[in-house]
Amino acid sequence: MATKPPCFDEMLNEDGTPRAAYAAYHKWFTEQDSTHLKQKARDAEEFFRRTGITFAVYGDDEAEERLIPFDIIPRIVTARQWTKLSRGIEQRVRAINAFLQDIYHRQEIVRAGRLPIDLLVKNEAFVSQMIGFTPPGGVYTHIVGIDLVRTGPDEFMVLEDNARTPSGVSYMLENRETMMNMFPELFSTIRVRNVSDYPKNLRASLSRVAPPACTGDPVVAVLTPGIHNSAYFEHAFLADQMGAELVEGHDIRIVNGRVAMRTTRGYQPIDVLYRRLDDDYLDPLIFKPDSVLGIPGVFDLYRAGKITIANAPGTGIADDKAIYSYMPDIVEFYTGEKPILKNVDTWRCSEPDSLAYVLDHLSELVVKEVHGSGGYGMLIGPAASKKELAAFTAKLKAKPANYIAQPTLALSTIPIFANSGLAPRHVDLRPFVLVSPDKIDITPGGLTRVALRKGSLVVNSSQGGGTKDSWVIEDD
Amino acid sequence: MLGKTASGIFWMFRYLERAENIARLIETGHRFTLTRNRGRQDEWRSILSALGMDAAYRANHEEYNAAQVVDYLLRDKANPGNLRNLIDSARQNARTTRTAITRELWEAVNECWICVNDALKRQVREAELPATIDLIERQTAQVRGALENTMLRNDGYNFSRVGNFIERADSMARLLDVKYYVLLPSVSFVGSSLDNIQWETILRSTSAYSAYRWLYPGRASALGIADFLILDRRFPRSLAFCYGKLTDNLRHLAMSYGVQSDSLTEAERIYAGFASMTAASILEDGLHEFLVDFLTQNRRLAAMVEQEYRFNS
């Protein structure tokens, strides 16, 4: 790698003293015996193994189920920082919902010349069947995850929005459970904001967007692609915690004009479907005709007010990487305010000048596929070989509109507890947001993902990343 | 509850019960090998028959060698019904029914799976066999403990019990059928030592050895054993005991669902049948015929439950 930019460490100042947020934790940490902590780290792993908190890696038959590596050193954010972050997140999520409402109706943003029409209508994530339809309660993205990165004391930026089916919230919850199990004394001395209400809030939030056909207490179900999906544990976990049924396509049938699940007492209508399935697979009559995971006909019933689908179909356009670079404009257009959270500078390779710049500076940039996710199909210039750079140059020239590029950020680090002691590693943060008609609820903290390899910037669990518990602590 | 979930819990406990039966049969077979010089091959063969695996075993094995049979039963990939696969299926079912089972039950099944998988990674050497069987028995016992101690007595619990006792009745009847000739009063070697060994084997492989001795000290008779394993309501593996439990659990289901249940009526009919039988009448009318008939009825009951509670459609 070329010259490495200096990174901001969230725990330690340059002189090795702890930053304010970490003062109490650091004091506790230095009083611990490292053999004892090593044992605790092993206990934590055993805890995850025993409780079966695993994920599946695609294309990896041998180790179909893996543990996400968990690091015992928490990510700590102060209440003051969090207040600012959550204001920024709320603003962004409001804008995303207003944007979705607009693009599926009058498309004022296009009329105003703030967004090229091609980015909508030629976008695979744009679901034309949503045009003219308003989902129950006007909510499009019931569950959102906003990926934040940090480059300095007050420099938080949005790296990515997740408006389809963001995952990872079960790790946020289980990481906290594990930490409270391992280190109860920390939680009695440091006031950490609680996260455990998330499943209850999720259920309440989904219940508030029941469809017109719902009479009485809304019946909520979680739709999973099945046991082989990488996030199956999370689907089962959330259904269990919410007291909802976990259904697959073959448990469901349309009965008397309602989407109904086969129970031991017969078919029971579902009011709100929290689907953890991509748009493409949701309804074979509308999308992929060969999908066996979805429910034929569900879309028509959705439009007829017989069921609520969360998140709404077509929300993916809001987290599309091509749209991402317009997010500052989108926030301003719909909220009338300056964005509180910044975007990462982004070059749209569809624009000839930008493409030329990107090709010239490829070895310094991160290039992402517009429709990719999970860290697949991405180039990290500074870490790439000559051969990889050449291959990507060819790809960029062939299909420039498929790519965006961003500067290689000096992502903040937080130490992990390695064999040799504390070792700084790059992190990001995904707070989870629940949207209902009358409120936006952000769980304090979120999921901290950490690149376990020294110097690596890739935090995705599919690429060997790990997680940390994330604390928002009360200011003294 | 989803029909799929009911099915998942039902089968989870069938798999676990089946795995326990295999472990117990291996234990018995191994003990037989250690204590008797003759008839070892026959013993392994009858164990395979009781599990319905004899034909498949013979398809790729020349002889009934203890090490090969044990490996076949525990972990051989050529045997889809091996114990490791059963535990794997039970755990898979627990994953898919996570919303209907307690955290304690899930963790017990998961830990059982982790331990059994570790223990069966490689072929189990004879020196390790007793400890391995012991581990399997303890792990499955913990799953039962978690079920009993933490599960709400709701439909999920009842489906788990129905699966458990249908499987248990099935395996008891199969085992008796494989050994039925031992219990025939007319055979010439009644009272001979081979006869006693066979009885002992049957009792041991059904965990009935000590219970039977308490009740009938020093008096092992064909009639007594048949009575004990088929009709004694105090013995938790007898056919009558299983059907007593099945009627209880199916009644709870029917009552909580407020339905007329055909499967309950059928279980009650079978259960009532036991009351009108004696061991002597069963042996007189033909033990083999009785068992074949019972197995058919037991299978039919399982199918009725599956249909009534919409397991699959």
Cα A100 to Cα A203: distance, rounded to the nearest angstrom = 23
Instruction: Report how far apart, in Å, the C-alpha atoms of B30 and of each of A57, A365, A428, B202, B208 are.
Output: 41, 66, 57, 13, 17
- Residue B242 has a pLDDT of 98
Instruction: Report how far apart, in Å, the C-alpha atoms of B308 and of each of A163, A251, B3, B311 are.
Output: 41, 16, 10, 8
Task: Find out whether A160 and A346 touch, Cβ atoms under 8 Å.
Answer: no
Q: Which of B39, B131, B19 is nearest to B79 (CA)?
A: B19
* B114 contacts in chain A (CB < 8 Å): 49-50
Pick among B1, B99, B304, B311 to test the A interface (most A CBs inside 10 A): B99
Pick among B1, B2, B311 to test the A interface (most A CBs inside 10 A): B2
Find the CB nearest A245 among B2, B107, B309: B2
Lowest mean pLDDT of A64-68, A114-118, B113-117, name the range: A64-68
- Residue A3 has a pLDDT of 45
Is residue B16 in a domain?
yes
Question: Long-range contacts: A363-367, Cβ < 8 Å, 24+?
Answer: A363/A2, A363/A389, A364/A2, A364/A407, A364/A408, A365/A405, A365/A406, A365/A407, A365/A408, A366/A405, A366/A406, A366/A407, A366/A408, A366/A409, A366/A457, A367/A392, A367/A396, A367/A403, A367/A404, A367/A405
Residues of chain B with pLDDT under 50: 187-194
Instruction: Give the pair of three-digit tokens for residue A343.
Output: 């975007």
Cis peptide before B110 (omega within 30 of 0): no
Orientation angle between helical segments B3-35 and B193-205, nearest 10 degrees: 150
* A240 contacts in chain B (CB < 8 Å): 98-99
Cα B168 to Cα B229: distance, rounded to the nearest angstrom = 12
Q: Which of B89, B119, B8, B95 is nearest to A55 (CA)?
A: B95
Report angle CA A6, A7, A9 to the nearest 5 degrees.
Answer: 140
- Residue A4 has a pLDDT of 53
Query: What amino acid is encoded at A202 in this protein?
Result: L
Report angle CA A38, A44, A49 to the nearest 5 degrees.
Answer: 130
Cα B306 to Cα B184: distance, rounded to the nearest angstrom = 36
Cα B13 to Cα B10: distance, rounded to the nearest angstrom = 6
Torsions phi, psi for A449 (to 5 deg): -105, 145
Q: Which tens digits make up the pLDDT trace of B219-265?
A: 677 788 889 999 999 999 999 999 999 999 999 999 999 999 999 99
Give the single-character DSSP code of A318.
G
A106: CB partners within 8 A, 6+ apart: none
Note whether B3 contacts A263, CB cutoff 8 Å: yes
Is residue B279 in a domain?
yes
Phi-psi region of B79 (alpha: psi -120 to 50; beta: other; left: phi over 0): beta
Cα B113 to Cα B86: distance, rounded to the nearest angstrom = 10
Find the CB nearest B3 among A239, A244, A264: A264
Task: Find out whether A429 and A470 touch, Cβ atoms under 8 Å.
Answer: yes
Note whether A264 contacts B309, CB cutoff 8 Å: yes
- Residue B298 has a pLDDT of 98
- Residue A70 has a pLDDT of 95
Find the CB nearest A227 among B92, B114, B310: B92
Domain count, chain B: 1
Pick among A177, A264, A273 to test the B interface (most B CBs inside 10 A): A264
Note whether B95 contacts A237, CB cutoff 8 Å: no
Average pLDDT over every residue of A160-175: 95
- Beta partners for residue A77, in sequence order: A472
Q: Which tens digits make up the pLDDT trace of A39-60?
A: 999 999 998 988 888 777 665 4
* A274 contacts in chain B (CB < 8 Å): none
| Residue A284, SS3 per DSSP | coil
Instruction: Work out the end-to-end distance of chain B between its first and last CA atoms, rounded to an integer number of angstroms.
Output: 14
Pairing type for strands A421-430 and A413-418 reads antiparallel
CA distance B102 to chain A (A): 9
E strands, A65-142, where? 65-67, 70-78
Note whether A236 contacts B99, CB cutoff 8 Å: yes
Note whether A246 contacts B114, CB cutoff 8 Å: no
Query: What amino acid is encoded at A240 in this protein?
Result: D
Task: Find out whether A245 and A259 touch, Cβ atoms under 8 Å.
Answer: no
Find the CB nearest A50 among B5, B92, B107: B107
Note whether A264 contacts B114, CB cutoff 8 Å: no
Which of residues 115 through 134 in chain B touch A, CB cutoff 8 A? Answer: none
- Residue B204 has a pLDDT of 86
Q: Which residue has the tokens 């090709």?
A: A359
- Residue B185 has a pLDDT of 57
Average pLDDT over every residue of A161-176: 95
Note whether A50 contacts B114, CB cutoff 8 Å: yes
A52 part of contact set with chain B, CB < 8 Å: yes
- Residue A62 has a pLDDT of 47
Cα B66 to Cα A462: distance, rounded to the nearest angstrom = 44
Cα B107 to Cα B125: distance, rounded to the nearest angstrom = 28
Instruction: Report how far apart, in Å, the C-alpha atoms of A447 and of each of A168, A305, A409, B197 are.
Output: 7, 34, 20, 63
Instruction: Report how far apart, in Å, the C-alpha atoms of A63 and of each of A151, A453, A461 are.
Output: 35, 20, 14
Q: Does residue A123 register a pLDDT over 50?
A: yes
- Beta partners for residue B9, in sequence order: none
Instruction: Report how far apart, in Å, the C-alpha atoms of A12 and of each of A8, A174, A422 are.
Output: 9, 26, 11
Orientation angle between helical segments A327-335 and A79-103, nearest 10 degrees: 80
CA distance A38 to chain B (A): 23
Cα A249 to Cα A263: distance, rounded to the nearest angstrom = 14
B184 part of contact set with chain A, CB < 8 Å: no
Task: Find out whether B142 and B150 touch, Cβ atoms under 8 Å.
Answer: no
Average pLDDT, chain A: 92
Q: Does residue A12 register a pLDDT over 70?
A: yes
CA-based nearest residue in chain A for residue B308: A264
Is residue B29 in a domain?
yes
B44 part of contact set with chain A, CB < 8 Å: no
Pairing type for strands A65-67 and A54-56 reads antiparallel
Cα A259 to Cα A242: distance, rounded to the nearest angstrom = 20
Give the single-character DSSP code of B227.
I
Q: Which residue has the tokens 């309660």?
A: A137
A-B contacts (CB, under 8 Å): 61
Which range of residues forms the domain containing residue B143? 3-308
Cα A405 to Cα A370: distance, rounded to the nearest angstrom = 10
Find the CB nearest B98 among A240, A248, A265: A240
Task: Find out whether B16 and B90 touch, Cβ atoms under 8 Å.
Answer: yes
- Residue B61 has a pLDDT of 93
| Residue A351, SS3 per DSSP | coil
Q: Which helix (H) or strand (E) holds A398?
A: helix A386-398
- Residue B219 has a pLDDT of 67
E strands, A13-91, where? 54-56, 65-67, 70-78
* B2 contacts in chain A (CB < 8 Å): 245-247, 251, 261-264
- Residue B209 has a pLDDT of 86
Task: Find out whether B248 and B267 touch, Cβ atoms under 8 Å.
Answer: no
Find the CB nearest A245 among B99, B155, B313: B99
Is residue B313 in a domain?
no
Find the CB nearest B111 among A50, A232, A265: A50
Q: Which tens digits make up the pLDDT trace of A381-427?
A: 888 899 999 999 999 999 998 899 999 999 999 999 998 889 999 99
Q: Which of B298, B291, B259 is nearest to B163 (CA)?
A: B298
